Structure 1
Amino acid sequence: MSADALQPRFRPAEIACLLLVLAALIGLYFPVLASMAQDWATNDNYSHGYFIPLISAYMIFSMRDELHKAGSSPANWGLLVLLLGLGQLYLAKVGSEYFLQRSSLIIVLLGGTLFILGTAATRKLLLPIAYLIFMVPLPAILWNKIAFPMQLFSSAITEDVIRLIGIPVFREGNVLHLAQTTLEVVDACSGLRSLTTMFALSAVLAWLSGYPAWKKWLLFFAAAPIAIFANIVRLTGTAGLASIYGEQVAQGFLHDFSGLFTFVLGLLLLLLTSRFLRGKT
């Protein structure tokens, strides 16, 4: 092996430049990141946000050899992408639009990576950087527009399943009237939270799988029916127990436990789907 092949492909000056850019970004985005972390702490719909940067960092760390081989070939047009991201940040701050402020970080990271490392390295880093979108809470107005139709959908499916197992039920919108109690399918039970979490999980599983591209996409999109199914199982189980033991079953510890059950069931189904795809050609 030649001496040149043993030399690192990234020069110390490039590494120092990259570290300086990262430090500058942390300083620039600190208020944005702090407010987002506050949302993770108070909004159960995005409590998984803490793990997303860690998973993204692990993705980058695990491909360090590939990045070493790709080397650096700075692309000047990356500066334009970087400036577009910073422009989005500025306009979003002027308009107090939190989603655009937070999502601008992803554009800035892509632009900075292109400008410093070039297209070859950026191609490999595209997924870890894009994965950060799962940590950004959706605007409340958009979340509610999606969540309410899902509440109605989940309520209707749960009503049909409950009838099939012989439990009398009458539905009004997202409210299920049982013999002994009334249950409301609220935002937290709409399935949108499960859907967001399952997509984040399926993206990681697809990346780890080493499958061909079509299998990875199939595993990723399998998150949608899996999340919906797991949520319907949760609602049906809660309604069935409430019809027997009363309203207290649908509240408190059992309600919280059913949320954990939904997550575990969804994860197991994703793993089974991945195992099934492994044997398909």
Structure 2
Amino acid sequence: MTAIFSFVSILAAWSVLYWDSFPPLLNRWYSDDYSYCWIVVPLAVYVAWQRRDMLPKVSIPAVKSGYFTVFLAGFLFFLGKASAVDALVFASMWLSVLAVVLFVFGWRSMKAFLFPLIVLAFAIPPPPFINRMLTFKLRLISSDLSVRIMQFIDIPVFREGNIIDLGMIQLHVVDACSGLRYLFPTVLLGVLIGYWFNRRSWQRIVVILATVPTAIATNALRIAIVGFIARSISVETAENFFHDASGIIIYLLSIVLLVALSCFLNLFSSKNEIESVQSVSSYGQPSTTAPLHLIVMSLFLGLFFLGYQGSLSGRVIPERQSFDNFPMSFSQYEGKREYFDDNIVKSLGADDYISGVFKDKKSGRDILLLTSYYNYQEPQRAAHNPVSCLLGGGGWDLSSTADLNPDSKAGRPFKVRRLILQKPGHRLLALYWFQQRGRIITNEYLNKAYLALDSIQKKRTDGALVRLELLLADGETIEHGQKILDRFISNFSSILAPYIPE
């Protein structure tokens, strides 16, 4: 009876603590890049059941390690909430599962549970900044490799950035075609294939290391096949293959290649190693003190929940003027406000925003402005690095990025981050900065650190992200475009104070 009560209590406390974290986690699982996460939990449970014979006959709870893991999970939970980083909260979920294993079976059970826990970690989508970094790099690698393949088979092709020009069709290797959605499930596949088909550790490591180049190479082959079909059959057939069947075919090819590699590596093992199978014996039972520790753990999770709710009740939201009253005409600039549809506003997550195009009467240039403001920030509604938004569509490639120090001569009294984006025939100069609680920051990680610190010290997480864009003219230098934006910032920042509290 005590065991049942402890199980129900820990399950209830865990569900209550992480209840508002399930929607963002499931939303990530619903995305195409992380849809494989749906099968990770069943896989982890199945692998744990397979390894039940490795459990020690006598289980000794790892009490100190268990409570340390509980408090570490609580720390990551609060840090993730305070800094608006979902990945930390998801990691806290995983650590809480590890704590349960330590309380029930102890460290001696890690021989059985370590691998299932590693598999379970694949259910945690990586932080967005890793997603952005990998997506951008994989797009360029996939584009370059696919062009080399097409050139090898004598297909005339030209590449500029992530755009592949075949003459009769242009292939835009956007985020969805970067190969990211094949990378993580392929790595997971390599981990499982190595576990199921190979006995030696070095063989499993080789299979896992082969997953990344396999995912990249097969994705590049997918793009090259599209080019071959467009050239040899028809553009319509190529487009249909590109959007429909190619993903499944290429992933099946990845499976075949990794299984073939695994079988090849087994040639270097003795027959006894390949055929050895551990027989299932009587496996260990949970310790009699485990239910007590689970009940105590559930109480701690409950305290974490109450502490988090208490921090929300003391949240400070400063008074400010709405962007509805922001002047669209000032100095030498005449602006026209733009409004987003409901879906974009929802994805932005901001409480207020101003978006528009300002005409510089002196230079005749159009400057795009987007400022999003948040009364408070939390996971799924926080200011974030705009690189992913700028690279998310339109075929833009990131040419360079750099921090620009304050320039008093140009009238810009603070640092900004500059991005140079390009695509065939066009260049875009973009600037952005985080303006939050009296600070102007360009580093998103430093911004997250201050967000966590201010949520504790000031009970404030309000702030804004300011983004400017200027389309450079043919032959125009970046320095000339920078002067145009600096002049705009000098006038714009002087009237911004009432709308973004210090």
TM-score range, shorter chain: 0.7 to 0.9
- The answer as to 2:22 corresponding to 1:27 is no
Q: Any idea what SS the aligned residue of 2:164 has?
A: strand
Note the alpha carbon deviations across 1:160-211, whole angstroms, 9 max, x for none.
1111111111110111111211111111221222111110111111222351
Out of 205, 225, 230, which is 2:213 matched to? Answer: 225
Higher relative contact order structure (alpha carbons within 8 Å, sequence separation ≥ 6): 2
Q: Any idea what SS the aligned residue of 2:155 has?
A: coil
Partner of 1:6: none
How many percent identity over aligned positions? 29
Q: What is the CA-CA distance between 1:76 and the residue it aligns to?
A: 1.8
- What amino acid is the match of 2:17? L
CA contact (8 A) 1:18 1:116 kept: no
- 1:94-243 counterparts in 2 under 5 A? 94-243=82-231
> Could you say if the C-alpha distance between residues 135 and 256 of structure 1 is closer, same or farther in structure 2, counting changes exceeding 3 Å?
farther
For 1:187 and 1:152, how far apart are their aligned partners in 2? Answer: 10
For 1:65 and 1:218, how far apart are their aligned partners in 2? Answer: 27
For 1:234 and 1:153, how far apart are their aligned partners in 2? Answer: 13
Partner of 2:50: 62
Structure 2: runs of 5+ lacking an equivalent:
270-502
For 1:124 and 1:22, how far apart are their aligned partners in 2? Answer: 22
CA contact (8 A) 1:70 1:120 kept: no
Q: What is the CA-CA distance between 1:62 and the residue it aligns to?
A: 1.5
For 1:169 and 1:135, how far apart are their aligned partners in 2? Answer: 39
> Could you say if the C-alpha distance between residues 113 and 85 of structure 1 is closer, same or farther in structure 2, counting changes exceeding 3 Å?
same
Q: Which has the larger radius of gyration?
A: 2
> Could you say if the C-alpha distance between residues 172 and 210 of structure 1 is closer, same or farther in structure 2, counting changes exceeding 3 Å?
closer
Tell me which protein shows more helix as a share of its residues: 1
Partner of 1:276: 264
Partner of 1:45: 33
For 1:280 and 1:17, how far apart are their aligned partners in 2? Answer: 48
Q: What is the CA-CA distance between 1:21 and the residue it aligns to?
A: 2.7
What's the TM-score, normalizing by structure 1? 0.87
For 1:259 and 1:113, how far apart are their aligned partners in 2? Answer: 37
For 2:264 and 2:113, how far apart are their aligned partners in 1? Answer: 28
CA contact (8 A) 2:73 2:93 kept: yes
- What amino acid is the match of 1:248? E
Q: Greater CA deviation, 107-116 or 190-199?
A: 107-116
Partner of 1:3: none
- What amino acid is the match of 1:30? W
Structure 1: runs of 5+ lacking an equivalent:
1-11
Tell me which protein shows more strand as a share of its residues: 2
CA contact (8 A) 1:86 1:104 kept: yes
CA contact (8 A) 2:195 2:204 kept: yes
Q: CA RMSD in A?
A: 2.1
Out of 71, 79, 89, which is 1:91 matched to? Answer: 79
